Amino acid sequence: MTLALAVGAVLAIAAVAVVAAPFLREPVAADDRLLPPDAAQQLQLARAEERDRTLDALKELEFDHRTGKVSDEDYRAQVGMLRQRAAAALRDADG
Amino acid sequence: MPDLGRAALVTAFLLLVYASVAGTFAAWHSRRRLAQSAQNALIAAFGATAVAAAVLLAALARHDLSFTYVAQHTSRELPLGYTLTAFWGGQEGSLLLWLLVLGGYSVAAVLTARRVGREVLAWVVPVLGLVGTFFALLLVFVASPFATQPAPADGAGLNPSLQNPYMAVHPPMLYLGYVGLTVPFAFAMGALLARRTDERWIVATRRWTLAAWAFLGVGQLLGAHWAYVEIGWGGYYAWDPVENAALMPWLAATAYLHSVMIQEKRGMLKVWNVLLVTLAFCLSIFGTFLTRSGIIQSIHSFTQSSIGPWFLGFICFITAASLALIFLRLPLLRAKTRLESLVSREATFLYNNLLLVALALTILWGVVYPLLSEAVTGEASTVSKPYYNFFLHSFGLPLLLLMGIGPLIAWRRASLRALGRTFLWPTAAAVVAGIALLAAGAGSSRVGVIAYTFSVFVLASIVLEFARGTSARKALGGVGWGGAFASLIARNRRRYGGYVVHAAVVLFAIGVAGSSAYQTVREARLHPGDSMTVARNRLVFRGFESSTQPNHRAIRANLWRYRPGKNQYFAEDQVSNEVSIRHDLLTGADLFLIADQVNSDGSVDLKALQKPLVNLIWFAGFIFVGGSLIALWPDAREERRLAERYEGATMRA
């Protein structure tokens, strides 16, 4: 019983210490905000996702063409548009 | 010791309440240190839950019958292995396991979510905390595993059907699956609450979802094998509500794993994906409710309890809150692109999604109808096997076919010429297989022939995918066939791991079709010296043998190589069926013997089943695990790409 109580007390103290750690480590914070990405960063994130999506689509098309899932005509009809879109996405993401 | 267990649970409960309340406040008001503190509380709650679990495990190992839970689920003669697995043999222990697994998942997911952004993570913590709070609340106030009593001379023992080696792994696997679905749900809700509907929450939960789905799949298969070898009725799945409870979230998660690829590749189906994640999570809670509430009659429902209303309230709250949040965030979830063609890879994924969700919902209706019916009319009713089989055939067979069609179609759109070329060989293989099956007399089951024909089509399309992909990779130069094959898989683990999983599902379907549509059943009352023949196997009954084990008396019918019989458990005062099975690894068939009735005149009522291809079902499990591991294996190239993509936006957050 005594041992159990002692272990329980240690457990409770340890829990409080862990929970209070951010405030003990930094009693006065210079900046306590979570700082979500601003509008520019969100736009950058969206453009990076779009860039990867377009490049993926281009790679998929190339691979599907090589494996015979996309005919030559379909490939020619799609590849130009996808390349243009990829180039634009790359420009946007870099800019 | 029970005091320590109780103290640990109360500590965990308080920490989880803090993680929920302080975490919500921190996320709402954008407080960095408070958000970190709430996250630490989540981690500390896992530690406290682990202490509580250790206390219960120690009590079980010491046969401490002053713990009511230990006395109710073990006996002094119960072997140590089963004594320890009694941890999840009863309701309170199962709830503790739920909380423990949730704690482990929460800690791992939160600590490894580097790219999700702190503003999203700040909301994920209170969502995880809220789910944990519910289970901790049940454990502290409603169903404590640390209730005590004056120690009786012996315990009530463990349900005999749980005294099986599969019980050591089947429930933990299922729980790893059920509970794991909390992670994608929490991240999806976190992203919606933070108004961040980009793909970061999907990237952060990709592996967790896949792992939970794989655990749930393996858990069900282990459960099916347990039912097959232990329950003694000759089957492995009986559309029991509790079995269905595990199948439904698995189907919803399967739909999500497919539809999320459309969001990643095309930026579409954002609303559908958060709905699927919510559905999978709610169904996993509903499954736990079915198993643990005692509301339904099931061989898997080992308890009657008062936690039902709590679960029902929680399910209603979670469902209503999630749907309200999704509705509020609809403007953020609009897709910028549209489906280009109804004949494209993404369209087949969409069809597969509709069929999977339709199957899950019809099963859900089959489960809840008897409950609703009884609540309204006061009369108990059941939904039986034909209902489920009808929908399994209606939705399952097209799903099987789609597994073969999907990989053969290109993304965006496909022309008839390309379709003709890619479909030629798989279709030819399927037609030849169908004709051969009919010629071999398999036409006795129309569903069986269709399932086999579709299975051949899918397997051929998978083989073709690997062959064409390897050939295309080799054509780029620099590697041989082996190198090209390895590179093909390494460069797209999710896709090719997925194909391996598809192959496993096909083997599973072949096993199910063979063992159900083409099984042979014979029943006879045999006196010593009598014989019967089933599928060219002659069985001669030579009389009974009996032996006494520490916790049971075993009686077996001697049929030369076979010993079906019954066990009489002393402490539990129950009788279990003990079947005898002979596996033919060459044909995949089993000869399955059940001693249905042991008669006082020395005769036995014997039931013999010959189940063709049934072993493919269990073999498929290994393939399933292999495919899941391929898909789960870390991909350094993908990691670099994601690091580059999210570097700018998440470094500052």
Q: SS3 sequence, B326-368?
A: HHHCHHHHCCCCCCCCCCCHHHHHHHHHHHHHHHHHHHHHHHH
Indicate if B202 and B232 belong to the same structural domain: yes
Backbone torsions φ then ψ of B556, nearest 5 degrees: -130, 140
Q: Which domain holds residue B421?
A: 415-518+623-653
Indicate if A26 and A42 belong to the same structural domain: no
Euclidean distance between CA atoms B264 and B412, whole angstroms: 14
Indicate if B423 and B343 belong to the same structural domain: no
| % of chain B surpassing 70 pLDDT | 97
Note which residues in 186-205 of chain B have CB less than 8 A from chain A. Answer: 194, 196, 198-200
* Nearest chain A CA: its distance from B547 CA (Å): 44
Residues of chain A positioned with their CB less than 8 A from the CB of B43: 18
Euclidean distance between CA atoms B340 and B344, whole angstroms: 8
Is B471 in Cβ contact with A67 (below 8 Å)?
yes
Indicate if B184 and B325 belong to the same structural domain: yes
Q: Which domain holds residue A88?
A: 37-95
Euclidean distance between CA atoms B77 and B75, whole angstroms: 5
Is B199 in Cβ contact with A18 (below 8 Å)?
no
Euclidean distance between CA atoms B113 and B111, whole angstroms: 6
Task: Choose among B40, B118, B415: nearest Cβ to A71.
Answer: B415
Indicate if B183 and B242 belong to the same structural domain: yes
Indicate if B554 and B647 belong to the same structural domain: no
Indicate if B293 and B372 belong to the same structural domain: yes
- Identify whether B158 is part of a domain: yes
Residue B97 confidence (pLDDT): 95
| B52: closest chain A residue by CA | A8
- At B225, the pLDDT band (50, 70, 90 cuts) reads very high
Q: How many domains does chain B have?
A: 4
- Identify whether B617 is part of a domain: no
Indicate if A46 and A84 belong to the same structural domain: yes
Indicate if B183 and B223 belong to the same structural domain: yes
Indicate if B111 and B84 belong to the same structural domain: yes
Indicate if B305 and B386 belong to the same structural domain: yes
Indicate if B159 and B204 belong to the same structural domain: no
- Identify whether B618 is part of a domain: no
- At B427, the pLDDT band (50, 70, 90 cuts) reads very high
Residues of chain B positioned with their CB less than 8 A from the CB of A4: 1, 3-4, 7
Residue B283 confidence (pLDDT): 96
Is B648 in Cβ contact with A35 (below 8 Å)?
no
- Identify whether B616 is part of a domain: no
Residue by residue, DSSP assigns B189-219 as HHHHHTT--SSHHHHHHHHHHHHHHHHHHHH
* CB of B161 closer than 8 Å to CB of B75: no
- Single pTM value for the model: 0.92
Residue B116 confidence (pLDDT): 81
Residues of chain B positioned with their CB less than 8 A from the CB of A57: 265, 411-412
| % of chain B surpassing 90 pLDDT | 68
Indicate if A22 and A45 belong to the same structural domain: no
* Nearest chain B CA: its distance from A5 CA (Å): 7
**How many residue pairs bridge chain A and chain B with CB atoms within 8 Å of each other?**
167
Indicate if A63 and A87 belong to the same structural domain: yes
Query: Which residue type does B333 have?
Result: L
Residue B303 confidence (pLDDT): 54
Does B652 touch chain A if contact means CB atoms closer than 8 Å?
A: yes
Q: How many domains does chain A have?
A: 2
Q: Best residue in B16, B18, B32 to probe A by mutation, most A CBs within 10 Å?
A: B32
Does B3 touch chain A if contact means CB atoms closer than 8 Å?
A: yes
Euclidean distance between CA atoms A12 and A7, whole angstroms: 9
Residue B301 confidence (pLDDT): 54
Residues of chain B positioned with their CB less than 8 A from the CB of A12: 7, 11
Give the H or E element holding residue B539: strand B537-540
Q: Best residue in B39, B40, B42 to probe A by mutation, most A CBs within 10 Å?
A: B40
ipTM value: 0.89
Indicate if B294 and B392 belong to the same structural domain: yes
Mean pLDDT on B567-580: 86
Map tokens 């391929």 to a residue.
Answer: B630
Mean pLDDT on B50-60: 96
Q: Best residue in B10, B17, B33 to probe A by mutation, most A CBs within 10 Å?
A: B33
Residue B653 confidence (pLDDT): 41
Does B425 touch chain A if contact means CB atoms closer than 8 Å?
A: no
* Nearest chain A CA: its distance from B535 CA (Å): 46
Is A48 in Cβ contact with B646 (below 8 Å)?
yes
Indicate if B171 and B241 belong to the same structural domain: yes
